[in-house]
């Protein structure tokens, strides 16, 4: 097949091109021709198709995401914000931390192990390109019903992929979530978060400037895996009942990534790069166009110099390939020799493939023939922007209040509690987390199932960071505006409960098709809610990800905004754990309980979702966070009350160290009676245990911050006793821990 050059394209304007097969719309193809003043070459078409995809261009979400900038709170901690590979915040002592969360949903359905593994690899490289050493990962996951055949297919592979790749990299997995719901059947959500650390002066950006500076591709060779992944696989729904377009999923090699990490960090330490970009979604198309666009604009690439695993690849395939473990750097010629020596030391392939020019176009040649001549910004940043139709979904008018059988007899407590804690969403996840290395590197302070993951940053001062990810998709389904707020507030509570101060936010917004006005209403309300709450809480959004087209046929997933919050703790040795450490402690509930069961796990177990999400009390939540931070020195344990309500929190608290508790719930504090007291998921509550000698100090602080503080019991014994009904810890543990083994072994 003859090479489609720029000259050929100009001379043959009517040549048929597969723009529709590449995921472009007719008006988008027309816009490309307008930009270029001719039809695109096949290589240019390939580049525009991947870079103008929903995944890369945010074309359906841009008009809404701008609120994060318009409503951004003033933050002295923010060093690098939205627009780079990852956000960066100052945590003190000269340290900067970068963190970000992204999705790899559709690839993980097609090929669970590699889809999840390369999702981890991609987010780790995003962190690396900022100049940081990756230090920990997290994995918020969503699946269809736990007993569904396809869940049994995808879940073990996804868990193995997350663990296999992360373990080989030597990165501890310190947290995440696993949630089951029928709407995720056929469309699991695999979100991956990474956090990295650097000194302030070591921050790197994705930019190409300086005429004559070299473009160097280093890392793994380019193969045929993942071609067109972002343009088709991540930008189209999975059809129900018919074959779907499924390009090959990227194939990861964690050992190649490990040496690439160490090689890159040594290169950074010697200040050998001007700009750097990883090759993830859209591969070389993304790296070259974004680097050029963020710099002077001119770049010349010789595509035949790209090292290939498969020599049969066409230029278009080379440009679209999403082969993993690759980076692109801009280097001064005088520093090339040292750069190459470091790459050779680590056995990392490195090749000069081009240079920065004084022009304004990205030129790509193949064996001397010009095949790409584009203004790079039109590829990387000036793609289509859609203001999609928005309509409030009809389902909201048919929602019904939750009606549940009341627990009036303490004897009924045991059966209801055991049913709840053995349900897949609440059951112990050790079957999963035991497949992850949570302690490698020796700096993990807290990990699942604690409220937040925590890692030590400095081994002398014990400075550390805590990270939590949260989402209640049922609340977002009932009220996406408040659902987003509630997710962020839960993350903040999880951070503060361990003793860290919330500092910054990242997000992964998972939704159905943006071509559905109801989905776009959910999305727009979610972004509005998240932007508003971040402004109210004074927390900057540092970056994130939007994942659309998460649906099978006409069934969209529940709107699932996964919100990650990072906090800082001055001394990780003072952190608070969730488990009761000893007998004789007084147990209190901070915050009041109401009788709204909408969106709760208890309602879900009874086949209901309810009609209204809680309305967050922002001022009360801020006061609670401040109380948790100031009173932390007096806590023997602390645990956020959220999924599964007080029943789940008590179970996790007593089982952690096998220390029982005697609980007496007084209806005076619980409008919904014993049922609500145990199973309602009222936000803004924390379970704490306090040594009797410190009760007055804690009570004084609760009064200072006007946070209700109710004594509900005392620690000790070998059972969890609630209003006289006793459940031995051995029976409680069996019910809580056997579910996953029975489902997936």
Active-site positions read 55, 104
Residues 293-318: b if buried by 16+ CB within 10 A, e if exposed = bbbbbbbbbbbeebebeeeebbbbbb
Tell me which residue of 498, 507, 377 sits closest to 87, measured CA to CA. Answer: 507
> CA-CA distance, 332 to 330, in Å (whole number)?
7
Per DSSP, 434 falls in state T
Percent helix / strand / coil, the chain, rounded to 5: 40, 25, 40
Those residues with Cβ within 8 angstroms of residue 398's Cβ, 6 or more apart along the chain or in another chain: none
**Residue the block writes with tokens 């029982």:** 660
Residue 63 near residue 187 (C-beta atoms within 8 A): no
Rounded to 10°, the helix 618-631/517-537 angle is 50
Give the distance between the most distant pair of CA atoms in the chain. Answer: 87
> CA-CA distance, 608 to 611, in Å (whole number)?
9
> CA-CA distance, 106 to 549, in Å (whole number)?
9
- Return the SS3 of 381: coil
What SS3 string covers 600-654? Answer: CHHHHHCCCCCCCCCCCCHHHHHHHHHHHHHHHHHEEEEEECCCCHHHHHHHHHH
> CA-CA distance, 739 to 265, in Å (whole number)?
42
Helix (H) and strand (E) counts in the chain: 26, 28
- Return the SS3 of 175: strand
Integer-rounded Cα Rg, in Å, for the chain is: 26
Tokens matching residue 721: 């006793």
Beta-sheet strand order (sheet of 686-690): 635-640, 686-690, 586-590, 709-715, 661-663, 719-722, 725-728
> CA-CA distance, 193 to 345, in Å (whole number)?
30
CA-to-CA dists, residue 730 to 294, 406, 578, 662, 733, angstroms:
60, 27, 19, 16, 5
Tokens matching residue 532: 């508003």
């Amino acid at each position: 097949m003859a090479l489609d050059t720029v000259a050929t394209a100009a001379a043959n304007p009517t040549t048929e091109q597969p723009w529709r097969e590449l995921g472009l719309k007719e008006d988008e193809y027309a816009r490309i021709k307008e930009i270029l003043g001719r039809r695109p070459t096949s290589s240019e078409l390939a580049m525009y198709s991947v870079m103008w995809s929903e995944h890369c261009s945010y074309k359906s979400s841009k008009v809404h995401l701008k609120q994060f900038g318009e409503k951004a709170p003033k933050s002295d901690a923010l060093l690098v914000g939205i627009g780079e590979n990852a956000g960066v915040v100052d945590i003190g002592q000269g340290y900067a931390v970068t963190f970000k969360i992204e999705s790899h949903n559709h690839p993980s359905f097609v090929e669970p192990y590699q889809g999840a593994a390369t999702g981890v690899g991609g987010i780790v490289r995003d962190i690396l390109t900022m100049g940081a050493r990756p230090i920990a990962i997290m994995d918020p996951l969503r699946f269809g019903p736990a007993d569904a055949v396809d869940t049994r297919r995808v879940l073990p592979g996804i868990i193995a992929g997350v663990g296999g790749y992360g373990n080989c990299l030597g990165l501890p997995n310190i947290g995440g979530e696993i949630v089951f719901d029928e709407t995720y059947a056929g469309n699991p959500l695999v979100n991956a978060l990474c956090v990295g650390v650097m000194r302030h002066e070591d921050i790197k950006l994705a930019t190409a400037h300086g005429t004559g500076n070299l473009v160097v591709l280093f890392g793994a060779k380019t193969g045929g895996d993942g071609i067109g992944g972002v343009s088709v696989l991540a930008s189209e729904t999975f059809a129900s009942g018919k074959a779907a377009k499924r390009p090959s999923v990227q194939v990861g090699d964690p050992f190649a990534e490990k040496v690439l990490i160490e090689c890159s960090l040594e290169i950074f330490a010697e200040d050998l790069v001007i700009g750097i970009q990883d090759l993830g979604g859209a591969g070389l198309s993304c790296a070259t166009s974004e680097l050029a666009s963020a710099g002077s604009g001119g770049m010349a690439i010789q595509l035949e110099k790209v090292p290939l695993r498969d020599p049969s690849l066409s230029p278009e395939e080379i440009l679209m390939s999403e082969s993993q473990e690759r980076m692109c750097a801009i280097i001064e010629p005088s520093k090339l020799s040292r750069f190459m020596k470091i790459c050779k030391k680590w056995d990392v392939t490195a090749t000069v493939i081009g240079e920065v020019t004084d022009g304004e176009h990205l030129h790509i040649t193949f064996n001397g023939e010009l095949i790409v001549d584009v203004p790079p910004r039109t590829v990387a940043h000036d793609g289509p922007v859609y203001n999609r139709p928005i309509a409030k979904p009809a389902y909201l008018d048919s929602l019904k209040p939750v009606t549940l059988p009341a627990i009036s007899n303490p004897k009924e407590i045991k059966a209801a509690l055991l049913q709840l804690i053995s349900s897949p969403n609440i059951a112990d996840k050790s079957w999963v987390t035991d497949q992850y290395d949570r302690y490698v590197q020796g700096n993990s302070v807290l990990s699942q199932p604690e409220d937040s993951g925590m890692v030590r940053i400095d081994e002398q001062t014990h400075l550390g960071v805590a990270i939590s990810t949260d989402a209640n998709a049922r609340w977002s389904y009932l009220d996406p505006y408040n659902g987003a707020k509630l997710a962020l507030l839960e993350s903040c509570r999880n951070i503060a409960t361990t003793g860290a101060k919330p500092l910054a936010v990242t997000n992964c917004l998972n939704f159905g098709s943006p071509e559905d006005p109801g989905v776009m209403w959910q999305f727009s309300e979610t972004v509005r809610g998240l932007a508003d709450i971040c402004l109210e809480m004074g927390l900057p959004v540092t970056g994130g990800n939007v994942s659309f087209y998460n649906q099978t046929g006409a069934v969209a997933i529940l709107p699932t905004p996964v919100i990650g919050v990072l906090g800082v703790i001055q001394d990780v040795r003072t952190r608070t754990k969730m488990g009761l450490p000893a007998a004789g402690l007084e147990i209190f509930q901070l915050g009041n309980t109401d009788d709204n069961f909408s969106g709760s796990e208890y309602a879900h177990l009874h086949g209901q979702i309810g009609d209204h999400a809680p309305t967050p009390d922002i001022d009360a939540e801020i006061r609670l966070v401040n109380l948790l931070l100031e009173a932390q020195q007096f806590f023997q344990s602390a645990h956020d009350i959220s999924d599964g309500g007080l029943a789940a929190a008590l179970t996790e608290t007593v089982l952690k160290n096998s220390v029982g508790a005697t609980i007496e719930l007084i209806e005076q504090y619980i409008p919904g009676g014993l049922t609500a007291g145990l199973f309602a998921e009222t936000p803004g509550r924390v379970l704490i245990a306090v040594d009797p000698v410190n009760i007055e100090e804690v009570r004084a602080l609760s009064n200072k911050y006007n946070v209700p503080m109710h004594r509900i019991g005392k620690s000790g014994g070998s059972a969890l006793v609630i209003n006289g009904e006793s459940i031995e810890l051995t029976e409680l543990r069996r019910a809580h821990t056997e579910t996953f083994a029975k489902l997936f072994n």
